[in-house]
Amino acid sequence: MKNLLLLFSLIFFISCNESAENNKETQNPEAEKTVSNDSVPNFGIVIHGGAGTIRKENMSDSLEQAYKEKLEEAIRTGHEILANGGTALEAVQRTINVMENSPLFNSAKGAVFTNEGKNELDASIMDGETLNAGAVAGVTNVKNPINLAYEVMVNSDHVLLSGKGAEQFAKEQGLEIVDPSYFYTEKRYKAMERAREREKEENNKTAFYDPFIKDEKFGTVGCAALDKHGNIAAGTSTGGMSNKKYNRIGDSPIIGAGTYANNKTCAVSSTGWGEYFIRGVVAYDISAMMEYKGLSLQEAASEVIQKKLPALGGDGGIIAIDHDGNVAMEFNTAGMYRATMNKNGELKIGMYSK
Ligand code: ASP
């Protein structure tokens, strides 16, 4: 009898101990975090469709709706790729393709016009894992310039190709070539004509920097993503600035200015007044602030976009994601078309100031 009692007490003691251990595990948030992160690796995506004087009072309900729908279609395209285990590079490219194919944005189909009435397209892409990068400038007949930037990165010995040579390379890589008239949209053509007129009227040599002319350009597109493998990437595609001359090239195809990605820090795509983004090496500066100063992505982005860029005289914004999936959407203009989606499928879309 005494033995039986001893056995029962032993069993009772062991079972109490086990349930206390279990409770400890569920009450420890760190333990929970580790379990959930291990089961579903983090991923996320963020996009922009250009920064500038984007104000509710200048926007019709139907146009606002059209922008929202296209931003959502674009970000869902990339999100699905990431959710299925695809790479950040693929997500960036395909997401940008959706916006490149829409006349709403100053990129491929909806590109602005040069002073001579042409469309000259710039794009770049960067892989945060390898620091490999590809870019193109001044192409006139490649349907999706971001795809050409990708080909430059993976199938050439170079980083940046321009003009006729880039177009020849596009043909050799079997990319879709279109007649330059494909890029014609009445809205962008008229905008360029207005800018040209204003330049003549004012006899203003610095008209390119005129706020009125600047506002005719916005709509550059960009994307940054973190994939389930822990890699980040960024890309940017644009028609540049309306009424541009002399084969002007902006920041979008310049690695470090318009686009930058480094697994150690973050992936960034810029939009805005390109000359200042080049001079401020904006995308790289955000990464460098994280790497050398230990700032968070948000701290680095606001320092560069709200302080350093305006101090130079520039305006615009960036979207970025870091290796932990934190996102920044920072701009110093009235608005920026933007959207982000995390691994839980939570979607945020914005256009106007915060
Ligand atoms: N950054 C682009 C450029 O200067 C234009 C833009 O983002 O709106 O070419």
Task: Write the DSSP string, 127-170.
Answer: ETTT--EEEEEEESSBS-HHHHHHHHHHHSS-SEEEHHHHHHHH
Q: What is the pLDDT of residue 53?
A: 83
- What pairing do the DSSP bridges indicate for beta strands 316-322 and 266-272? antiparallel
Q: Based on the number of CB atoms within 10 Å of its own CB, is 115 exposed (0-12), middle (13-18) or buried (19 or more)?
A: middle
Distance CA 232, CA 89 (A): 8
Ligand 1 atom nearest residue 244's Cα: 9
- Asked if 312 and 297 count as a contact pair (C-beta separation under 8 A), the reply is no
Asked if residue 272 has its Cβ within 6 Å of ligand 1, the reply is yes
Residue 220 annotated as catalytic: yes
Cα–ligand 1 centroid distance for 354 (angstroms): 21
- Asked if 72 and 339 count as a contact pair (C-beta separation under 8 A), the reply is yes
Q: What is the pLDDT of residue 269?
A: 98
Q: What is the pLDDT of residue 147?
A: 98
* Secondary structure (H, E, C), 232-247: EEEEEEECCCCCECCC
Q: Which residues of 225-235 are buried (b: 16+ CB within 10 A; e: fewer)?
A: bbbbebbbbbb
Q: For domain 42-352, which architecture applies? A: 4-Layer Sandwich (3.60)
Q: List, for the chain, all residue ranges whose pLDDT scores fall below the cut of 70.
A: 1-38, 202-217, 354
Cα–ligand 1 centroid distance for 90 (angstroms): 23
Cα–ligand 1 centroid distance for 269 (angstroms): 11
Asked if residue 227 has its Cβ within 6 Å of ligand 1, the reply is no
Q: What is the pLDDT of residue 142?
A: 98
Asked if residue 240 has its Cβ within 6 Å of ligand 1, the reply is yes
Distance CA 45, CA 31 (A): 26
Angle ∠(218,333,353) on CA atoms, nearest 5 = 110
- Asked if 125 and 159 count as a contact pair (C-beta separation under 8 A), the reply is no
Q: pLDDT for 6-38, tens place per residue? A: 445 544 444 434 443 333 333 333 333 333 445
Phi and psi torsions of 188, nearest 5°: -75, -35
Q: pLDDT for 197-251, tens place per residue? A: 887 776 655 555 555 555 666 789 999 999 999 999 999 999 999 999 999 999 9
Distance CA 2, CA 20 (A): 28
Asked if residue 262 has its Cβ within 6 Å of ligand 1, the reply is no
If residue 32 lies in a helix (H) or strand (E), which one and from where to where? helix 29-39
Q: What is the pLDDT of residue 71?
A: 98
Ligand 1 atom nearest residue 258's Cα: 1
Cα–ligand 1 centroid distance for 254 (angstroms): 11
Q: Whose CA is nearest to atom 4 of ligand 1?
A: 274
pTM: 0.88
Q: What is the pLDDT of residue 14?
A: 43
Closest CA to 254 of 272, 270, 242: 270
Distance CA 273, CA 89 (A): 26
Distance CA 152, CA 89 (A): 14
How is residue 177 annotated by DSSP?
B
- Asked if 50 and 319 count as a contact pair (C-beta separation under 8 A), the reply is no
Cβ-Cβ contacts under 8 Å for 227 (sequence gap 6 or more): 43, 82, 85, 86, 87, 88, 91, 233
The CA R_g of the chain, rounded to the nearest whole Å, is 24
Q: What is the pLDDT of residue 332?
A: 95
Q: What is the pLDDT of residue 213?
A: 59
Distance CA 295, CA 326 (A): 13
Query: Residue 299's beta-bridge partner residues?
Result: none
Torsion angle, alpha carbons of 136, 142, 144, 148, to 10: -40
- Asked if 333 and 50 count as a contact pair (C-beta separation under 8 A), the reply is no
Q: What is the pLDDT of residue 200?
A: 78
Cα–ligand 1 centroid distance for 273 (angstroms): 5
Q: What is the pLDDT of residue 21?
A: 38
Of 120, 223, 238, 315, the residue with max ligand 1 atoms within 8 A of its CB, to mutate for a pocket test, comes to 238
* Catalytic residue, candidates 77, 220, 259, 340: 220
